Amino acid sequence: MKQKTQFTVFIAIGILMLGISPFTYSDPHAIREYVVNKITGTPPVMNGVYSETEWAGSEWTTGFYGLNNQSSNGSNQGNLIGLNYRWRALWDDNYLYFLYEAEMYDLPINGIAGNQIINPVENDDDTHSYSIGIGTNLEIFFEPNWQAGDGFNSDPPAFTNAGGNGVNDGYHVVWFPLDADPGYTENNEGVRNASHPTGPPFFSTSGAYNTTYLGGDWNPTFDPAEAAAQGALPMIAGALLHKTGAGYFSGEVYARPILEIAIPFSQLNPAWGIAERGNEGETNLTLVKDANGKYVKSGNEWLVNVCGYTDNYTAARGLTLVTWNNVIGGPFASYPRGKLIFTGETAVQEWMVMD
């Protein structure tokens, strides 16, 4: 199990011999790879509280970048950041499991917009949530069924504000880690599962072919009955703020939000709203079972990027957006994305358990 960036082998070995992480410098054209193992036995519980035991067989990523197209990032553009943003993943025959952890020095208040109007996030895809706290969030983009030559990942066309590069296929999941406004609103945190399918936490989801900002529809459900009616399994998620007890703008870490989410392969198809927005007859975003009844098999490659808008305290100091795979230009949705490489079954081994 390994995460790697496409650097020359002897350079990477030399750096490791010096005791320095291979991510202490940036290559703006590198496409990172994450090898995701298939699990056996019990999958990790999606409750926003993780342990090394339940996520054994996966490794943490390291080294997020400041997004390369934002003038507000200043010297952080395309450079590795000091904040502890990281993720890891596993899979089985039914789900792709993500664990995403961030570090924030404050959190936006749920419902307080710029004009101090109470307008809380109370449902999935509340559009006004994008204006809250300058959009502090955790985001995951992924494109199934990708193969070299299907798109422009290694050599994307130049981004233009006039129309984007028009090749941003994919699915998109966003969680806004919102603090409560006492007396008016509640934290945007909790567990979404069969016992509590309606939220909070609430998410924004979207997906489409050939759009700049992935503004198309994707409407996955957490409700087991709704999912079963379409022959699918439900989405499952746990998202908790994990506040540290520090004060706002104290200069200390205020929260370490954790998102655990299980994305069902059976909800990655047009039955859940994904639609073509251009004139390409693509199938990248539609998963179907093969002759052996499998949606995914070892050796499959997806494109993935894990990103986020930082908290207001961090943004005020010049770092607004962060991304795992460095985006050469354009929004998070743009290419290049990293590669998610599926590999075969991995039982829990003693060396993988690091409690």
What is this structure's pTM?
0.84
Residue 67 banded pLDDT, cuts 50, 70, 90: confident
What's the total number of domains in the chain?
A: 1
What are the pLDDT digits (tens) for 9-51? 222 323 223 232 333 334 545 789 999 999 988 999 999 999 9
Q: Maximum distance among all alpha carbons in the chain?
A: 59
Residue 128 banded pLDDT, cuts 50, 70, 90: low
Buried b (16+ CB within 10 A) or exposed e, 87-98: bbbbbbeebbbb
How far apart are alpha carbons 339 and 299 in whole angstroms? 12
β-pairing verdict for 321-323 and 170-175? unpaired
Query: What average pLDDT does this structure show over 163-177?
Result: 74
Residue 350 CB-density burial (10 A; 0-12 exposed, 13-18 middle, 19+ buried): exposed
Instruction: Give residue 23's domain range.
Output: 1-355
Q: Which residue has the higher pLDDT, 283 or 79?
A: 79
Instruction: State the CATH number of the domain containing residue 241.
Output: 2.60.40.1190
